[in-house]
């Protein structure tokens, strides 16, 4: 926990981790509060008809315990992977808590994923159970056995839960026991499962407090439009909020909409928000009406996943009276560089400074720390409680992620003379679009499944709204001719199989693919 010392330097220098030997996310973020203050609000749900429902910690505890007993009845035990394909709702939180209490491993899956994206993650992880609603039945029909699916909106699920006890004793887990896994796409090959331990929650608390100007303060309430399956939704908001005893707002958005966002923010006393830069750009283009603006109660705003930029910072100050506390991290090691307005850790064009408890440096290819203002790789020193344990079933990729004790982010940047870190570019082929980090490998593999496509390469192209858009460069099989109709068919092919944010918004048909003598695509020529 951070205490505001009034000085970044003293706060950073004084901070020490105190990670207990035994720690369980489910117990600490649910059972602890249920015993201490069972009537305390845990989740504030905003329904489509604009009514508001409150789930207390006592209710969350009872529901999660019933789910624990149901999963135990189904044979789920320590180390088993349990997948969650659900939107923001109380049941999603309860299922997470249950999985952690059992010592199993939560596998959150984004609602945006199509059948191919889901199939790979479910198969690679070896998930035993999938929680979902009937709305996802079609896209999972041929990729997982029905007896492995638990439809939470079914009468059968309700009846099974009602037969379970609402008492359950959490498994005693060590702080470094596996707890959850989030898949991240690399530049080559299939997505990789970043496996995290229970201590990841403790590791995130300083970053969440720093970005929210020393959360919790009286009447604080958290919300994000980000899917709770992403690191931004799960680790930046939902789990830390429950651990700190701060109510978290659940509101299902089928697609981000600025008008709905302003309506939500003006209807509930939301004080703290995490919103990716692209969503903020959409909100800037559709500002709140005078009545909505008058009802806003925002105290803090932080954003990350892509560069915030000076224009957004200026808009936030003019429109909301808030600085945007920018944050930086990866699925493998999150919330390590940030800004903090209350400590005056703000500099135009810079990400920020290291969050207390984290050591970063700019290094060269041999792992040597570089001097100020020298461009190199942004790296994070291990051990670190937010750092992943390993990639699931991929020892080589895990080894390649490190240079000695430095985790390589794959991002280029420099540290200035004032200690601020600046991002300059990526040293890999990752694409940043609408706040998502997208690897081309999975998209290229999907494209090659289309009958018309012979060769495929994916790159990013700068875009004023989304930071980048996905561009597909394609060579067609004989017998197929380029056309607008074919381009649209290919776009839909990817959109329905992977995720809506991964489909190529631009299609380029080529006669030949630029290749090296060893058969590798020369991406710089495509760019």
DSSP notation for 38-70: TTSEEEEEE-TTS-EEEEEHHHHHHHHHHHHHH
For the structural domain made of 431-526, what CATH number should be given?
3.30.300.30
Question: Is 431-526 the same fold as 20-197?
Answer: no
| Domain range list for the chain | 20-197, 431-526
Per-residue pLDDT of the chain (527 residues; tens, 9 = 90+): 898 989 999 999 999 999 999 999 999 999 999 999 999 999 999 998 899 999 999 999 999 999 999 999 999 999 999 999 999 999 999 999 999 999 999 999 999 888 998 999 999 999 999 999 999 999 999 999 999 999 999 999 999 999 999 999 999 999 999 999 999 864 445 789 999 999 999 999 999 999 999 999 999 999 999 999 999 999 999 999 999 999 999 998 877 888 999 999 999 999 999 998 878 888 888 899 999 999 999 999 999 877 787 778 889 999 999 999 999 999 999 999 999 999 999 998 889 999 999 999 999 999 999 999 998 999 999 999 999 999 999 999 999 999 999 999 988 889 999 999 988 766 666 777 887 777 677 788 789 889 999 888 899 999 888 889 999 999 998 899 999 999 999 999 999 998 888 899 999 999 988 864 334 577 778 88
Task: For residue 469, give the 3-state DSSP assignment.
Answer: strand
Q: Residue 373: CB partners within 8 Å, gap ≥ 6?
A: 414, 415, 416, 417
Say what the pTM is. Answer: 0.85
- For residue 306, which phi and psi values (nearest 5 degrees)? -165, 170
Q: Which residue has the tokens 């995290």?
A: 196
HSE-up (13 A, CA, CB side) for residue 40: 23
Give the span between the Cα atoms of 161 and 266, in whole angstroms. Answer: 36
Protein fold of 20-197: Rossmann fold (3.40.50)
Q: Residue 396: CB partners within 8 Å, gap ≥ 6?
A: none
């Amino acid at each position: 926990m951070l205490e505001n010392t009034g000085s970044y330097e003293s706060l950073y220098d004084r901070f020490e981790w105190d990670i207990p030997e035994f720690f369980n996310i489910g117990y600490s973020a649910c059972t602890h509060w249920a015993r201490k203050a069972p009537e305390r609000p845990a989740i504030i749900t905003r329904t489509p008809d604009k009514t508001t429902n409150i789930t207390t910690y006592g209710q969350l505890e009872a529901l999660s315990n019933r789910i624990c007993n149901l999963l135990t009845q189904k044979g789920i035990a320590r180390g088993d992977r349990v997948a969650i394909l659900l939107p923001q709702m109380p049941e999603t939180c309860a299922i997470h808590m249950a999985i952690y209490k059992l010592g199993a491993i939560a596998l959150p899956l984004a609602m945006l994923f199509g059948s191919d994206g889901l199939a790979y993650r479910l198969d690679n992880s070896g998930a035993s159970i999938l929680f979902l609603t009937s709305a996802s039945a079609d896209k999972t029909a041929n990729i997982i056995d029905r007896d492995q699916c638990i439809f939470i909106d079914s009468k059968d699920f309700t009846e099974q839960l009602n037969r379970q006890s609402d008492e359950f004793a959490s498994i005693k887990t060590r702080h470094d026991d596996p707890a959850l896994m989030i898949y991240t796409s690399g530049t080559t090959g299939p997505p990789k499962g970043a496996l995290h331990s229970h201590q990841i929650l403790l590791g995130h608390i300083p970053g969440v407090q720093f970005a929210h100007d020393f959360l919790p303060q009286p009447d604080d309430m958290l919300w994000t439009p980000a899917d709770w399956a992403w690191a931004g939704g799960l680790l930046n908001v939902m789990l830390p909020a429950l651990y700190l005893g701060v109510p978290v707002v659940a509101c299902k958005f089928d697609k981000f909409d600025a008008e709905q966002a302003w309506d939500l923010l003006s209807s509930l006393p939301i004080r703290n928000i995490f919103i990716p830069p692209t969503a903020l750009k959409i909100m800037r283009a559709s500002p709140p009406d005078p009545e909505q603006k008058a009802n806003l109660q925002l105290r803090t705003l932080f954003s990350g996943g892509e560069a915030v930029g000076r224009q957004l910072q200026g808009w936030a100050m003019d429109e909301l009276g808030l600085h945007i506390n920018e944050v930086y991290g990866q699925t493998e090691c999150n919330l390590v560089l940030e800004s903090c307005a209350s400590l005056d850790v703000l500099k135009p064009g810079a990400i920020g400074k290291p969050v207390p408890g984290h050591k970063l440096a700019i290094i060269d290819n041999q792992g040597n720390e570089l001097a100020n203002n020298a461009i190199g790789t942004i790296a994070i020193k291990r051990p670190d409680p937010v750092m992943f344990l390993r990639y699931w079933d991929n020892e080589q990729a895990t080894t390649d992620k490190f240079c000695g004790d430095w985790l390589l982010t794959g991002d280029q940047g420099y540290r200035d003379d004032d200690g601020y870190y600046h991002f300059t570019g990526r040293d890999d082929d990752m694409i940043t679009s609408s706040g998502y980090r997208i690897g081309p490998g999975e998209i290229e593999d999907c494209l090659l499944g289309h009958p018309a496509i012979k060769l495929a390469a994916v790159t990013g192209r700068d875009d004023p709204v989304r930071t980048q858009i996905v561009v597909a460069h394609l060579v067609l099989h004989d017998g197929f001719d380029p056309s607008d109709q074919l381009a649209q068919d290919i776009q839909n092919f990817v959109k329905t199989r992977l995720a809506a944010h991964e489909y190529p918004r631009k299609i380029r048909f080529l006669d030949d693919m630029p290749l090296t003598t060893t058969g590798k695509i020369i991406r710089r020529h495509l760019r």
